[in-house]
Amino acid sequence: MTNDVRDALETLIAGVQGGRSLHEMVDVSPCAVLVADDHGAFVMANVVASALTGYSLMELRKLSLWQLTPDVHEREAETLWRAFLQQQEQFGTYRLVKKNGQTIVTPYAARTNVIRGYHVSVLGNPPHQF
């Protein structure tokens, strides 16, 4: 599944580099996509991300990465975010909390500065739910 989210991320980036808008590419992605600013606040998401997290698109744009991160993993999330901004790319699995309180582990691929100051995370279907 990690390859699927990496492929979806590469497709999104290629579209933006090819002249399509980031908003358009986020909307047409078959995977969940969250776009955050430099502080981890979500500025854009697609309907797949809404379905995955249980939050509406409007609600997601009022949240940050930290609000989807289980409390026990918040310090780790901050460390990963700083490392992500420095490394410019990450992939693997991520534990997040849905609106209903359920914790899921989902594959992800992410890239910084797809557009300067806009960082894109693509999430796959969660193999584990707790």
pLDDT in tens, 83-129: 889 999 999 998 899 999 999 999 999 999 999 999 999 999 875 55
pLDDT score at 2 = 59
What six digits make up the tokens of 101?
């309180």
Give CA 58 to chain center in angstroms: 16
Q: Which residues are bridge partners to 121 per DSSP?
A: 34, 110
pLDDT, tens digit, for every residue of 9-19? Answer: 999 999 999 99
SS3 54: coil
pLDDT, tens digit, for every residue of 40-73? Answer: 999 999 999 999 999 999 999 999 988 898 876 6
Residue 11 near residue 30, CB atoms below 8 Å: no
The model carries a pTM of 0.90
SS3 11: helix
Helix or strand holding residue 112 (H, E): strand 103-115
Nearest Cα to 52, choosing from 106, 1, 5, 14? Answer: 106
| Domains of the chain as residue ranges with CATH | 2-129 (3.30.450.20)
In angstroms, the CA 15 to CA 71 distance is 35
| Percent of the chain scoring above 90 in pLDDT | 72
What is the pairing mode between strands 89-97 and 42-45? unpaired
